[in-house]
């Protein structure tokens, strides 16, 4: 008998949940884009539209005591991990009711309750941190895993390679998740890597690594479950390269000079929600009413999040220099 | 007798930097630009937009996200006969290249007993004001100004954006140019034939006799606005734009303070250990007996830059805080 942790169990409830989570991310971010245009959200905004299957699939394999570290394109990871949409939206606004008290904004979502350690806006900056959280788990003999998400652009950074080596050398419980969307800002993968199969880089550090279709939420979940079971059993770090595509610009400032509109259009039908939805329909797994119910429920959740953020308050300027250092406990 | 007015053109700070890069690459076949997204993307702040089509991928060279490697490669290429202009997207990411800048670029000439110089220009965006939060809002030019072996420039005007790069390319040493992110959209007129400008000298942007406001880069406009406010109160502030942060033009600073007898130093870096501290100490060492009031500093608050606009603005020097500090030096 196989361990139930290893394989996704495709019950009607489970597939509906996978779809629901991806739709939550998609609709939340579509609202964020609109709010950005209305200048409610400022700074840099990087949306995850097209890549939702990765965060949703990976999170299925994680337990509450596990740790998550992501990048500046992390709204999807936060939502899939269970950060409430309300405090997340308040953070996007910069209100003090936000999950990071409004200090971080879109790129710096932090949430201790769900062990969500950011929201890192320095490319590659999260990888060494993940090595460290995993080291702490290992040294304290806890069975926890750190899931670390990053784009393929990070693979060019020294921090990526140093972290791969250290995690493998010390056999640390890290799940490295490379979200390969083919572009780092405007630089295509082929223009930035001599070896474009990113998972081979992990293999060169003697780390088990595999490639999955990052547009297929079930495939991502399956890969994550397999890897996490092995990591918990003490097999050391694992690497999953998820092949995906970013449907929108890098950020709200991107004029997308570096790729064809036609290329983007070609990808769109292969989007994770589009594809999973089509599969569920073709195989009569979910009825139209179930799709509708998800949309209705999510629309209400997004509206409630916006209302929460609108009703939020600005932190007083008198508190400006708070949260810089802590007083030592006496 | 009528003189023909020299032709002037409307431009922006961004276009001025682009025109300077174009001039540099046209004048010197060994010059090239390299950095993240300078080519296909068109530059993070659109500075190099269009240059890839003009000069090709050999000379407008996109790099991977490898700050340490491509800055180091710029140093190596400079050592070996090329004239690289390296763009580090922002000062925030230059931290990943700090080792190359400090341990190689700044020291090779000295370590080699004068044999190997590094004729390299590194440009980067700096500063806060766009609500990009703690990791994307640093002003670390003062750190770089700490390092012997480097020259550090901070163009605050369109003329300097147009001319400083060309000036820097005449320098046989590593030169860092800091372009404040809030300046790229600045519009103005410059002479159609504007070109290289002298570096190493500060400029008096507004003469005055009551107090000297000393600043650079993104804070210049704020100091000018403060001077305008003060003028209405019949306080004549002199505004000095440092332009070059290393080496500092102490003669201009001391000359001005000797006349006004009061100084306010404005710097977007954090106050502790800041460039403003260096300027202040220099005034103490060289003009102590000329002073009628303690030198004042207006710097960023001691906090990583927060995301919400009201807190970000509260953390940064502002015309009001500059004017208030100037009044205080006059006992007002
Ligand atoms: C060290 C560093 N260099 C440059 C940047 C600017 N930058 C932000 S995101 C990005 C592209 C990253 O691409 P990738 O890692 O593939 O992730 P994606 O944005 O595609 O999700 C760049 C160049 C940065 N934030 N950090």
Please give the Cα distance from A242 to A311 (Å, whole number).
38
SS3 at position A138: helix
Q: What angle (nearest 5°) sits at the alpha carbon of residue A311, between those of residues A306 and A315?
A: 115
Strands B296-300 and B263-270: parallel
Q: Architecture of domain B8-191 in CATH?
A: 3-Layer(aba) Sandwich (3.40)
In terms of Cα–Cα distance, which of A20, A121, A21, A30 is closest to A72?
Answer: A121
CA distance B256 to B287: 10
Q: Under an 8 A CB cutoff, do A156 and B65 touch?
A: yes
pLDDT in tens, chain A (330 residues): 446 577 888 899 999 999 999 999 999 999 999 999 999 999 999 999 999 999 999 999 999 999 999 999 999 999 999 999 999 999 999 999 999 999 999 999 999 999 999 999 999 999 999 999 999 999 999 999 999 999 999 999 999 999 999 999 999 999 999 999 999 999 999 999 999 999 999 999 999 999 999 999 999 999 999 999 999 999 999 999 999 999 999 999 999 999 999 999 999 999 999 999 999 999 999 999 999 999 999 999 999 999 999 999 999 999 999 999 998 887
The conformation of residue B6, written as its DSSP 8-state character, comes to P
Interface test with B, best of A74, A158, A180 (most B CBs within 10 A): A158
Euclidean distance between CA atoms B315 and B299, whole angstroms: 9
CB contact at 8 A, A317 and B311: yes
Can you list the positions of beta strands (E) in A61-131? 67-71, 116-120
Q: Give Rg (Cα) of chain A.
A: 19
Same topology between domain B8-191 and domain B203-329: yes
Give whole-number Cα distances, A311 to A78, A90, A177, A299, B67, in Å.
21, 9, 36, 18, 42
**Residue A1 pLDDT:** 42
Give distance in angstroms: CA of B269 to centre of ligand 1.
Answer: 25
Distance from CA of A178 to the nearest CA of B (A): 15
Closest-approach residue (CA) in chain A for B92: A122
Per domain, the residue ranges of chain A are: 12-319
User: Which one, of A191, A214, A198, A324, lies nearest residue A272 by Cα?
Assistant: A214
Where are chain B's structural domains? 8-191, 203-329
Around B47, how many Cα atoms within 13 Å sit in the side-chain half-sphere? 33
Class of B203-329 in CATH: alpha beta
Per-residue pLDDT tens for B171-226? 999 999 999 999 999 999 999 999 999 999 999 999 999 999 999 999 999 999 99
Round to whole Å and give the CA distance between B216 and B221. Answer: 9
Residue in the structure block whose two tokens are 């460290």? A132
Round to whole Å and give the CA distance between A234 and A143: 9
CA distances in angstroms from B208 to A190, A317, B199, listed in the order given = 57, 33, 23
CA of residue A203 to ligand 1 center, whole Å: 23
* CB within 8 Å of A102: residues ≥ 6 apart: A90, A91, A93, A94, A95, A96, A312, A314, A315, B306, B307, B308, B311
Q: Smallest Cα–Cα separation from B246: which of B217, B275, B283, B284?
A: B275
Smallest Cα distance from B312 to chain A, Å: 9
Tell me which H or E stretch contains B324.
Answer: helix B319-329
* CATH number for the domain whose boundaries are A12-319: 3.40.50.970
């Amino acid at each position: 008998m196989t361990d139930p942790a290893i394989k996704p169990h495709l019950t009607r409830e489970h597939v509906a949940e996978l779809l629901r989570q991806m739709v939550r991310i998609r609709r939340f971010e579509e609202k964020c884009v609109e709010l950005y245009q209305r200048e409610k959200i400022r700074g840099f905004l990087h949306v995850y539209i097209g890549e939702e299957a990765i965060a949703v699939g990976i999170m299925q394999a994680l337990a509450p005591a596990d740790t998550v570290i992501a990048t500046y394109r992390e709204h999807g990871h936060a939502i899939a991990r269970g950060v409430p949409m309300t405090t997340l939206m308040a953070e996007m606004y910069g209100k003090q009711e936000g999950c990071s008290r409004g200090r971080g904004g879109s790129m710096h979502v932090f949430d201790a309750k769900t062990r969500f350690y950011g929201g890192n806006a320095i490319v590659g900056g999260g990888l060494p941190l993940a090595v460290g959280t995993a080291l702490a788990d290992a040294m304290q003999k806890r069975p926890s895993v750190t899931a670390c998400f990053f784009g393929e652009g990070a693979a060019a950074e020294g921090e990526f390679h140093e972290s791969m080596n250290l995690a493998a050398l010390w056999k640390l419980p890290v799940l490295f998740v490379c979200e390969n969307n083919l572009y780092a800002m405007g630089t295509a993968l082929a223009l930035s890597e001599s070896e474009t199969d990113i998972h081979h880089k992990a293999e060169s550090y003697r780390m088990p690594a595999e490639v999955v279709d990052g547009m297929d939420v079930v495939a991502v979940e399956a890969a994550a479950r397999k890897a996490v079971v092995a990591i918990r059993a003490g097999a050391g770090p694992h690497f999953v390269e998820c092949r995906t595509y970013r449907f929108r610009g890098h950020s709200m400032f991107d004029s997308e000079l570096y790729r064809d509109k036609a290329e983007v259009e070609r990808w769109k039908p292969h989007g994770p929600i589009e594809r999973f939805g089509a599969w569920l329909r073709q195989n009569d797994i979910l009825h139209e009413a179930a799709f509708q119910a998800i949309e209705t429920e999510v629309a209400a959740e997004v509206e409630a999040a916006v209302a929460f953020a609108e009703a939020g308050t600005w932190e007083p300027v008198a508190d400006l220099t708070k949260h810089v250092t802590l007083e030592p406990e006496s | 007798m009528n003189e023909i007015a020299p032709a002037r053109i409307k431009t922006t700070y961004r276009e001025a930097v682009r025109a300077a890069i174009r001039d540099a690459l046209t004048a010197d076949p060994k010059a090239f630009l390299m950095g993240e997204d300078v080519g296909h993307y068109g530059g993070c702040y659109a500075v190099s937009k269009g240059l890839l089509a003009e000069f090709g991928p050999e000379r407008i060279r996109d790099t991977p996200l490898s700050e340490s490697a491509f800055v180091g490669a710029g140093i190596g290429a400079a050592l070996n006969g090329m004239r690289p202009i390296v763009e580090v997207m922002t000062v925030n990411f230059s931290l990943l290249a700090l080792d190359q800048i400090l341990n190689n670029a700044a020291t090779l000439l000295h370590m080699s007993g004068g044999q190997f110089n590094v004729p390299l220009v590194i440009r980067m965006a700096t500063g806060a004001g766009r609500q990009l939060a703690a990791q994307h809002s640093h002003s670390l030019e003062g750190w770089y100004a700490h390092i012997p072996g480097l020259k550090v420039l901070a163009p605050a005007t369109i003329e300097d954006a147009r001319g400083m790069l060309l000036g820097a390319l005449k320098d046989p040493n590593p030169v860092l140019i800091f372009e404040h992110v809030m300046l790229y959209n600045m519009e103005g007129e410059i002479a159609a034939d504007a070109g290289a400008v002298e570096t190493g000298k500060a400029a008096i942007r507004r003469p005055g006799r009551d107090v000297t406001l000393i600043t650079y880069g993104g804070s210049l406009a704020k100091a000018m606005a403060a001077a305008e406010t003060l003028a209405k109160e019949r306080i004549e502030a002199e505004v000095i734009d440092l332009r070059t942060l290393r080496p500092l033009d102490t003669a201009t600073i001391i000359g001005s303070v000797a006349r006004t007898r009061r100084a306010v130093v404005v710097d977007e870096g954090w106050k502790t250990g800041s460039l403003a501290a260096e300027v202040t100490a220099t005034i103490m060492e060289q003009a102590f007996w000329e002073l009628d009031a303690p030198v004042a500093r207006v710097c960023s608050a001691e906090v990583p830059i927060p995301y919400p606009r009201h807190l970000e603005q509260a953390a940064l020097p502002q015309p009001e805080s500059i004017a208030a500090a100037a009044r205080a030096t006059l006992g007002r």
